[in-house]
Amino acid sequence: MLWLLLATLDAAGLGESSFDGPVPTEAPQQVVTLTNLDDPVRVDDVEVRGRRGAARVPPETELNGAEIDALGAYDIGEVLDRIGETLGVGDEPMVIVNGKRVANSAVFSGFPPDALVRAEILPPQAGALYGGAPGQRVVNLVLQRRFSSYDGRMVGSRPTQGGTSSLSADLRRSAIAGDNTHQAGVRVSRDSALRADERDRGHEEEGAGAGAITLRPRTQAVSANVNLTRSMGQWAGVFSLNGQARESRPVSRLGADIVEGRRQSESLGASAGLSGTALGWSVQGNMNGQASRSRDEGFANIRSENQSIGFNGSAGRTLMEFPTGAVVANLSGSLAGTRSILDRDQVRATTNYQTGEARGSVTIPLSKAAETGTGRVLGDVQATLGGSVRQSSGGDGDEVNAALVWTPKKGVRLNGLWAASSDSVPDLQRFEPAYFDTPVVVFDFQTGEAVEITPIRGGNPDLRPPRSERLSVTASIGPFTRWSLAANLGYQRTESTDGIGALPDLTEDVEAAFPDRFQRDASGRLTSIDFRPLNLSSTLTEGLTSSLNFNLPRPAGVAAHEATVLRVSLNYNLRLSNTQSLAAGLPELDRLKGDGGGVSRQEARAMLDARRGRWGVNASARWQDGYRTRRFGGQDGPGDLITAPYTAVDLKISFQMTSTSVRAANADEEGGPRRRSAGLQLSLEVSNLFDARPEARLGDGAPAPGYGRDWQDPIGRSVRLSLQRRF
């Protein structure tokens, strides 16, 4: 950037004096007018422009405005979700805005997608430069300079089988003026109940009143949020306020009785943060608070209240410059305190717990691509060393990690990650109140029948701190050619001791290992299962992941809003091993062979996002290979459960009723026509297009109880109609 600053100074008239008269030959005083680096600068007939919002490193993949609109998202949050699904950036990428870290990036998730100029997926090495966790990817959101909108949406959905329906409405206000933004929204929703007698499940055989059991409870909710960001010189402030109220009315079997429950919850949260530069460090800090209360009546009379306050902050800077690049240090930490009050059966208990964490990392460039010397052979090599310590009422924890990113040539990347950790137990997993959840159907191997049970969920105060070691190696190529062809292949291995997980599928081995988790009546009929988290003695998983992405090339000279945008993503995962020991002294279970609850060995997914003019299409297909669940570990038998392969397809078609006068009167950041008008947008979405349902048989070929059409998935195919308009 130094050469750009010098060119700017020269273009601004460095030799102009601030007074009339001869210019002294020594110690001249000069008035220098700095121009905006976003504006063009002409030097010797060369025009140089700094790209607004650019990150520290060039993006690996970039989505422009037309490609963002083709995702069919309602807000930036949905854009990030879709990017994660199609481009494989991980479940929780770090989000930066206009090339910088912000104190709370979540405040931008409610803005409309056309508030974005572009979205950049940065290469793996960017995570270390911005202070992310090892292996965490970075997404750079570049916002419009100016933007203003009022948006509303109404959504209604219903299964093609009928029996239940959902209705929701959203209103939001969004505005951007340079670095100052504000966004406010409100949402209300209502889901009607789906009763057992509205599906063919043989409820007549389950006793009087069983048809009133709700397969999906009646639910209504309202939420609201307000987000503000403000520029304060070299600093930027952010403020967020959100609240939600929710009520549901489940009807479930509790022992021999049919019970109607009522669950109510309210929550209010607020946060305030600052980001800027101090003493050469890029600093971000955010204070947040949350208060919530809930009431559960019918199944159990439980009232709970929670108040929490916390702070998280981060800082990063360049420590020194090597010929290969800058050595960057990043520090981050968090502190939180929570007070929980639980009132159960007129017994009141108060719990206070605190958590704290500190993390640090150093990124060292080992080699830099060059035309001669070592850089010509090795290309770019970057190493990151890091660690963390954690302390909470659930125990202490620590982690050490190392990552290596090697780019031998442009478009080819190799990434390695190793980490070993001893974690503390999350407080929510320890102290969340126990509650009865929506009934589910399980196959009981002991009786050979399918039963509808009431699951128990919540926290487990007896959890032990887990220990784990993980290794990940990924090779990526692309994007290449006009099709932006990109592919990657990765290997992951995780080994843990006392890992915290959910109860495996019900088998004879699992029930023998955890007999107190299963409740049966006097006749031996299973009535409830305790699904609260538990410690598994040991677990080992290994797998391969792969993906392929490409775009349809656009003809030269065609405007972005007139060309066809088409992006395709293909993902395939292969599990190489999945073994676990439920408790000390018990044999190891091979889940790929069906022990302790089987898992599918292969999974695949294909996604397509396309748009042309007023029309948009979004489609996805997911496939899961069949698998076996053994009744007794170590051997196949006639009483095993064999689940068939499963494929589901989702399709969404949208149409924009464009107002031509509005399109012609507005321009976005790139100078093209406005991407969204005040016209009505209609979207028709069909989930599970071919109405696929989970199917299974027993090891002897007989039909498996509980796998009829409406047992495992009573919803099936559903149709969703959305009406969206900008005012």
User: Phi-psi category of 557—alpha, beta or left, where left has phi over 0 and alpha has psi -120 to 50?
Assistant: left
Residue 561: its pLDDT value, please? Answer: 61
Q: What's the first-to-final CA gap in the chain, in angstroms?
A: 42
- Mean pLDDT of the 209-224 span: 88
- Mean pLDDT of the 688-700 span: 95
Residue 661's pLDDT band (cuts 50, 70, 90): very low
Task: Write out pLDDT tens, residues 604-613.
Answer: 999 999 999 8
Helix (H, G, I), strand (E, B) or coil at 201: coil
Inform me whether the pLDDT recorded for 176 exceeds 90: yes
Q: Which residue has the tokens 């002409």?
A: 42
Residue 426: its pLDDT value, please? Answer: 77
Residue, of 333 and 458, whose pLDDT is higher = 333
Residue 311: its pLDDT value, please? Answer: 96
Beta bridge partners of 185: 172, 225
- Mean pLDDT of the 612-640 span: 93
Residue 313's pLDDT band (cuts 50, 70, 90): very high
**What pairing do the DSSP bridges indicate for beta strands 94-97 and 138-143?**
parallel
Task: Write out pLDDT tens, residues 106-164.
Answer: 999 999 999 999 999 998 888 888 888 777 889 999 999 999 999 999 999 999 999 99
Residues 583-586: contacts with CB under 8 Å, at least 24 apart: 583/513, 583/537, 584/537, 586/509, 586/513, 586/537
Q: With pLDDT > 90 as the criterion, what percentage of the chain qualifies?
A: 53
Residue 346: its pLDDT value, please? Answer: 75
Residue 568: its pLDDT value, please? Answer: 95
**CATH of span 146-205+218-726:** 2.40.170.20
Residue 545's pLDDT band (cuts 50, 70, 90): very high
Asked if 62 contacts 89 with a C-beta cutoff of 8 angstroms, the reply is no
Inform me whether the pLDDT recorded for 6 exceeds 70: no
Q: With pLDDT > 70 as the criterion, what percentage of the chain qualifies?
A: 87
Residue 42: its pLDDT value, please? Answer: 45
Residue, of 420 and 668, whose pLDDT is higher = 420
Residue 331: its pLDDT value, please? Answer: 94
Which residue in 453, 487, 415 sits closest to 88, CA to CA?
487
CA distance 169 to 156: 9
Residue 572: its pLDDT value, please? Answer: 96
Give the lowest-confidence range in 168-172, 438-442, 527-531: 438-442
User: Phi-psi category of 523—alpha, beta or left, where left has phi over 0 and alpha has psi -120 to 50?
Assistant: alpha
Listed by start position, the domains of the chain span: 1-50, 146-205+218-726
CA distance 385 to 516: 44
Q: For the chain, what is the mean pLDDT?
A: 85
Q: Which of 210-214, 265-269, 672-676 has maximum average pLDDT?
A: 265-269
Cβ-proximal residues to 354 (8 Å cutoff; 6+ apart), any chain: 335, 336, 337, 338, 392, 393
Q: Nearest 5°: CA angle at 138, between 137 and 139?
A: 130
Inform me whether the pLDDT recorded for 91 exceeds 90: no
Inform me whether the pLDDT recorded for 602 exceeds 70: yes
CA distance 278 to 235: 9
CA distance 207 to 198: 16
Residue 194: its pLDDT value, please? Answer: 93
Inform me whether the pLDDT recorded for 597 exceeds 70: yes
Residue, of 230 and 23, whose pLDDT is higher = 230
Residue 452: its pLDDT value, please? Answer: 79
Greatest alpha-carbon pair distance for the chain in Å reads 109
Residue 19: its pLDDT value, please? Answer: 33
Residue 658: its pLDDT value, please? Answer: 66
Inform me whether the pLDDT recorded for 659 exceeds 60: no
Q: What is the dihedral of CA 550, 556, 560, 562, to 10 degrees?
A: -110
